């Protein structure tokens, strides 16, 4: 089938778009829509046109793959203008998601109807651009300025019910969408048609609204949200044609920006990470229930994520008190989700029915997957897996959440090593998106595929990592911190380094982050390695920990902290402690500092690729963005350098 097919139902023509996977508006599709509008206007037997889509969704937007090329004719604003000015009214019949250019097409139609399960939105800002085919000009005319700001500046889609309330769509229908749309069209033809969207007036809005929105929507490092806001404002204060020209100018400018290129890179990286080509034909193992061993921060975070994704969960701890603590930590996460409106009380009650805790490993005998999240000590972990080997079904997947031990050593002695895998979650595990998936040499493909299936179900971004110290993420973190310390040795001020990384887009610099999470964990790891005879050079962090400066929790680390405050204060004690190690007085500006540290991360990333630890540079970018706060609009260290 071509991109579109036209059929007739009496006097109503049905234009069926079919451009898998998501009906994106490729150049060929735009051309096909344009010629359909011409042909249907010429056909006197047609009185109205239904625009519907085959497959899983209505048009999901412009074809983002085309954004690296010069814009190709016919341009989408012209196609939409042609539909809007057609002699016969067009009715958009929406299922799935009408997003970006897809919703702009729908707004060019005279009517929009949707299934209850559908959603509409203008997510362009998430790609570093603004709507470029009338989104900021037609939305305020259709549904008012506030809804336009919510949609185009916020970037989040609205479900059909809310879209109906806001006036973005005209009706919600059930059952056969196309048949309903045809019936809607026949009825609509009996009455006077409403004005075209572009011809509708916009209700006036207070000056205060704009200044408030500007403050509210500003996002450091991101140009698109405020550009979308200014485009909406221009559209409310100027004639439609002028507004369209203004929007197009801004759209084209942003489309060519570094921010948009980086966000596109991340968009496609995320999609390709979720479904690795090598596993396309591999069926994952059934996954209906999950067990967790270890009720600490990691175990309960993973448990809460699994429970909220709908998996019945069994938590194992050493004694009853620890079981109770673990269960209440999980319950607290769900209660928080209810408070924030992410979960209804009824759903919470339903999910909690699936939660159990015990000291008895036998309770795991029916679980499809058990994740170990106990203390990072090889003997402790091995003891857990010996128990799991004994009680779990032979086909159940057994996973370790180790962050730095060698999973091959943990798996030694297992009777079915092919079902063993590393699943490295990040803290807090119900929030952080990254999941490093670490197969051992024996791991079966369907076990690996199960790891990816779990990631999808939990809404995580999965990345396969080979085995090395720290896997992908912590290995690069170690290098980043070491390079940051190296700059301190060269005489660069600690606060300047943190400031440089904040200016770059991180929420916190490397030293502030260590103060928050504690310097002692990495210190103890180094000490452990030293006690095993490894040659681990002394770090500046070691000097601070030995002086009792473990971070915020001890009132000081790389900075001082005033009682009860989290604001870092430059420390004269730290300056004195480190003075003997300062070798130079280099003057680097903040850009040079950030460039240096990003280059170091990328350099480590290249080594990781060369060793086959990561499969592709995009995976490394995803690890840093979703696990380590790397600014998304910079695209990740590999993209950025």
Q: Which residue in the set 12, 36, 62, 109 belongs to the binding site for ligand 3H9 (CB under 6 A)? A: 62
* CB distance 143 to 136 below 8 Å: no
Close Cβ partners of 88 (under 8 Å, ≥ 6 residues apart): 13, 40, 41, 46, 47, 48, 49
Q: Smallest Cα–Cα separation from 373: which of 347, 345, 395, 405?
A: 405
DSSP state of 219: B
Please, which residue, 63 or 259, has the CB nearer to ligand 3H9? 63
Pick the binder of ligand 3H9 from 123, 140, 291, 541 (CB under 6 A).
123
Q: How far apart are CA 192 and CA 376, in angstroms?
A: 72
Contacts of 112 (CB under 8 A, 6+ apart): 91, 92, 94, 98, 106, 120, 168, 169, 170
Q: CB of 214: closest distance to ligand 3H9 in angstroms?
A: 22
Decide if residue 566 touches ligand 3H9 (CB under 6 A): no
Closest distance between ligand 3H9 and the C-beta of residue 293, in Å?
32
> Helices (H) and strands (E) in the chain — how many of each?
26, 17
Of 176, 199, 256, 268, the residue at the interface with ligand 3H9 (CB under 6 A) is 268
Check binding of 19 to ligand 3H9 (CB under 6 A).
no
Catalytic member of 3, 84, 124, 618: 124
Footprint (CB under 6 A) of ligand 3H9, residues 129-148: 131-133, 135
The answer to whether 3 and 20 have CB atoms below 8 angstroms apart is no
Q: How far is the CB of 76 from ligand 3H9 (least distance, A)?
A: 4
Give the count of residues interacting with ligand 3H9 (CB under 6 A).
26
Scan residues 388-427 and list those touching ligand 3H9 (CB under 6 A).
none
Interface with ligand 3H9 (CB under 6 A), residue from 3, 63, 84, 619: 63
Q: Residue 464: beta bridge partners?
A: 437
Could you give the CA distance from residue 331 to residue 308 in angstroms, rounded to a whole number? 10
Q: Does 276 bind ligand 3H9 (CB under 6 A)?
A: no
Are 521 and 569 a contacting pair, CB within 8 Å?
Answer: no
Which pair of structure tokens corresponds to residue 98?
Answer: 């009408």
**For residues 332 and 358, is the Cβ–Cβ distance under 8 A?**
no
One residue of 57, 197, 246, 300 binding ligand 3H9 per CB under 6 A: 57
* Residue 104 among the catalytic residues: yes
Tell me the closest approach of the beta carbon of residue 158 to ligand 3H9, in angstroms. Answer: 14
How many residues are given for the chain? 641
Among 93, 104, 106, 28, smallest CA distance to 63 is for 28
Q: Which is nearer to ligand 3H9, 96 or 326 (CB)?
A: 96
Cβ closer to ligand 3H9: 55 or 629?
Answer: 55
* Residue 127 binds to ligand 3H9 (criterion: CB under 6 A): yes
Residue 232 in contact with ligand 3H9, rule: CB under 6 A: no
Q: Does 97 bind ligand 3H9 (CB under 6 A)?
A: yes
Query: Mapped to the 3 state alphabet, what secondary structure does 429-487 carry?
Result: CCCCCEEEEEECCCCCHHHHHHHHHHHHHHCCEEEECCCCCCHHHHHHHHHHHHHHHHH
Q: Identify the residue among 36, 50, 60, 625 touching ligand 3H9 (CB under 6 A).
A: 60
Mark the segment that binds ligand 3H9 (CB under 6 A) among 33-41, 265-273, 336-344, 628-636.
265-273
CB of 103 to ligand 3H9, least distance (A): 8
Is residue 573 part of the annotated active site? The answer reads no
**Marked catalytic residue, from 84, 104, 180, 604:** 104
- Does 104 contact ligand 3H9 by CB under 6 A? yes
* Strand-strand pairing, 313-316 and 97-99: unpaired
Structure token pair of residue 483? 């390079």
Cα 564 to Cα 555: distance, rounded to the nearest angstrom = 9
Binder of ligand 3H9 out of 15, 76, 93, 292 (CB under 6 A) = 76
Task: Report the greatest alpha carbon distance in the chain.
Answer: 90
Residues that bind ligand 3H9 (CB under 6 A): 21-22, 24, 57, 60-65, 76, 97, 99-101, 104, 123-124, 127, 131-133, 135, 268, 271-272
Instruction: Give catalytic residues, as residue numbers.
Output: 104, 124
């Amino acid at each position: 089938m071509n991109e579109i097919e036209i059929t007739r139902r009496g006097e109503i023509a049905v234009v069926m778009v079919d451009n898998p996977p998501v009906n994106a508006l490729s150049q060929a599709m735009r051309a096909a829509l344009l010629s359909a509008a011409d042909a249907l206007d010429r056909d006197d037997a047609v009185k109205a046109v239904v625009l519907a889509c085959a497959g899983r969704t209505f048009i999901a937007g412009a074809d983002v793959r085309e954004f690296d090329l010069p814009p190709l004719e016919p341009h989408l604003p012209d196609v939409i203008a042609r539909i809007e000015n057609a002699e016969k009214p067009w009715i958009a019949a929406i299922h799935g998601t009408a997003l970006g250019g897809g919703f702009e097409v729908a707004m060019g139609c005279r009517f929009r109807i949707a299934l209850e399960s559908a959603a509409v939105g203008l997510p362009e800002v998430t790609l570093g651009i603004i709507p470029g085919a009338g989104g900021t000009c037609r939305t305020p005319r259709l549904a008012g300025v506030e809804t336009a700001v919510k949609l185009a500046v916020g970037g989040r889609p609205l479900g059909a019910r809310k879209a109906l309330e806001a006036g973005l769509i005209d009706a919600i229908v059930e059952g056969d969408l196309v048949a309903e749309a045809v019936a809607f069209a026949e009825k609509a033809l009996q009455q006077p048609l409403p004005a075209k969207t572009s011809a509708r007036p916009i209700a006036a809005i207070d000056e205060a609204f704009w200044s408030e929105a500007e403050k509210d929507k500003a996002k450091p490092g991101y140009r698109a949200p405020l550009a979308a806001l200014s485009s909406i404002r221009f559209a409310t204060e100027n004639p439609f044609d002028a507004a369209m020209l203004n929007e197009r100018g801004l759209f084209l400018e942003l489309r060519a920006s570094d921010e948009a290129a980086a966000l596109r890179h991340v968009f496609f990286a995320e999609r390709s990470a979720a479904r690795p080509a090598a596993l396309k034909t591999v069926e994952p193992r059934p996954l209906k229930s999950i067990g967790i061993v270890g009720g600490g921060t990691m175990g309960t975070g993973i448990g809460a994520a699994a429970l909220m994704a709908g998996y019945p969960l069994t938590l194992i701890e050493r004694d009853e008190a620890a079981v109770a603590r673990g269960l209440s930590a999980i319950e607290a996460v769900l209660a928080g989700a209810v408070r924030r409106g992410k979960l209804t009380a009824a759903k919470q009650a339903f999910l909690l029915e699936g939660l159990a805790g015990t000291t008895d490993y036998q309770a795991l005998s029916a679980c499809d997957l058990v994740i170990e999240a106990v203390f990072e000590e090889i003997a402790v972990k091995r003891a857990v897996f010996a128990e799991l080997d004994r009680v779990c079904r032979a086909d159940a997947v057994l996973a370790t959440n180790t962050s730095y031990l060698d999973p091959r050593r943990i798996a030694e002695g297992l009777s079915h090593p092919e079902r063993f895998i590393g699943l490295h979650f990040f803290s807090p595990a119900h929030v952080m998106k990254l999941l490093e998936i670490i197969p051992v040499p024996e791991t079966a493909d369907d076990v690996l595929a199960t790891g990816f299936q779990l990631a999808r179900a939990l809404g995580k971004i999965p990345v396969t990592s080979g085995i090395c110290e720290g896997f992908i993420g912590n290995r690069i973190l170690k290098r980043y911190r070491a390079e940051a310390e190296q700059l301190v040795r060269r005489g660069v001020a600690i606060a300047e380094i943190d400031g440089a990384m904040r200016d770059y887009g991180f929420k916190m610099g490397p030293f502030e982050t260590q103060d928050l999470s504690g310097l002692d964990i990495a210190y103890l790891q180094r000490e452990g390695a030293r006690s095993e005879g490894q040659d681990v050079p002394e770090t500046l962090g070691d000097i601070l920990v030995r002086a009792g400066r473990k971070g915020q929790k001890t009132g000081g680390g790389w900075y001082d902290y005033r009682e009860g405050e989290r604001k870092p204060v430059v420390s004269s004690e730290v300056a004195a402690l480190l003075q003997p190690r300062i070798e130079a007085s280099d003057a680097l500006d903040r850009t040079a500092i950030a460039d240096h540290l990003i280059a170091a991360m990328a350099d480590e990333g290249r080594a990781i690729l060369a060793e086959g630890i990561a499969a592709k540079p995009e995976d490394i970018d995803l690890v840093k963005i979703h696990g380590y706060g790397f600014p998304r609009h910079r695209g990740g260290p590999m993209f950025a350098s």
